Amino acid sequence: MLIAIIGGRYGSNSQAHPYSISQMELKKAFELGIQVYIFVEAGVNSEYRTYLVNKAVKDIKYSFVDDVKIYQFLEEIEGLPLNNPIAPFETAQDITSYLREQWAGLFQRFLQDQGRHKETDLVQSLSASVETLNELIAFVAEDRQNSNNAIQSILLVNHPIFADIKKKLGVSYRVFFTSRSELTAWLSSRSYQPVPEDGWDADSHGEWLNNKTSPNKLLKIRASVFEKSGRLTIFSAEEWKSSWVQVSDYAPPEEPQSLEEGGS
C-alpha cells in the first residue's frame, strides 16, 4: 500500500511534466492497483474548494499552496473511479487514528476471505467426490464386464497421494503419476533427487532430497505405496494415511574435524 501526505509545498519537478516526483509515485501506485491512502492538510483541503470555484480565474493566488498544480492534481485524483480515498488532517494523530480504523477493517475482511477459501476448498472436494461417484456409476451401468478396470482407473486418477504431495510440497498445479519412476522423473524437475536405498533412514520409506530450489528439504514416501513392479498401489481416501508422505528439513552429518598439524 501507499500512504500519501499532501501539504502546501509542490516539491521537485519530475521528468514527467507537469507532475512532481511525489505525484508520479502516487500515479504509479494507481496504475499498479496498489491500495492508496491520501491525506490532505486541512488548510489545503479547505482552500481546494475555493480553487474549484475559481479555477478559471487567471493569476489568482492561494494562501495554503505554493503552486496551483497541487490543486490540479487533487482534482485529477478525485476524478478517478476508485482507489482514491482522501482524508483531511490537522495533526499526525489524525492520520494514525484514521489508518488504525481502516486497517482494522482490512484485517477483518482478510479473516472473512480466509474463511471463504476454506468453504471453497470444501465445496471443490465434495464436487470431486460426487464427480468420481457419478463416473463409477456410469461405468458400472454401461459395462459390468469391464467395471473393475474402470473403477481402478477412476480410483487411480483420484488417488489421495496426489493431493497429499501437492499440499506438502506447496505445488500450485495438479500432481499425477502412475509409478515410482514417473514420480522420480517429476521430482527431478523440481530438484529432488532419489536417495540410494542404503542411505534411507528406515526401510519403510523411500527418500528424495532437494539439492537446489529448497536445499536440504527431504521428502519421504512409504515404500508400500508402490508395488514391487514400481506401479502405484491403489488406495481409497479412507485407507490412506497422511503420515505416508512426509516433508522435513535434512541436516547433513557434520564431518569430524581433524587436528591441526602440531596440535594436541
Alpha carbon 260 to chain centroid, angstroms: 50
The per-residue pLDDT for range 130-175, each reduced to its tens digit, is: 777 777 766 666 665 555 666 677 778 889 899 999 998 888 888 8
Alpha carbon 221 to chain centroid, angstroms: 27
Whole-number mean pLDDT of the chain?
82
Per-residue pLDDT band at 258 (split at 50, 70, 90): low
Q: Is the pLDDT of residue 264 over 50?
A: no
Per-residue pLDDT band at 257 (split at 50, 70, 90): low
The per-residue pLDDT for range 69-89, each reduced to its tens digit, is: 888 888 888 887 666 678 899
Identify the pLDDT of residue 254: 64
pTM to 2 decimal places? 0.42
Identify the pLDDT of residue 253: 64
What is the torsion angle, in degrees rounded to the nearest 10, for the CA atoms of residue 135, residue 138, residue 139 and residue 140? 120
CA–CA separation, 247 vs 168, rounded Å? 7
The per-residue pLDDT for range 100-114, each reduced to its tens digit, is: 888 888 788 878 777
The per-residue pLDDT for range 206-248, each reduced to its tens digit, is: 899 987 777 788 999 998 999 989 999 988 888 899 999 999 8
Q: Is the pLDDT of residue 191 over 80?
A: yes
**ω into 252 cis (within 30 of 0):** no
The per-residue pLDDT for range 24-58, each reduced to its tens digit, is: 888 888 888 888 888 999 999 889 889 998 888 88
Identify the pLDDT of residue 221: 93
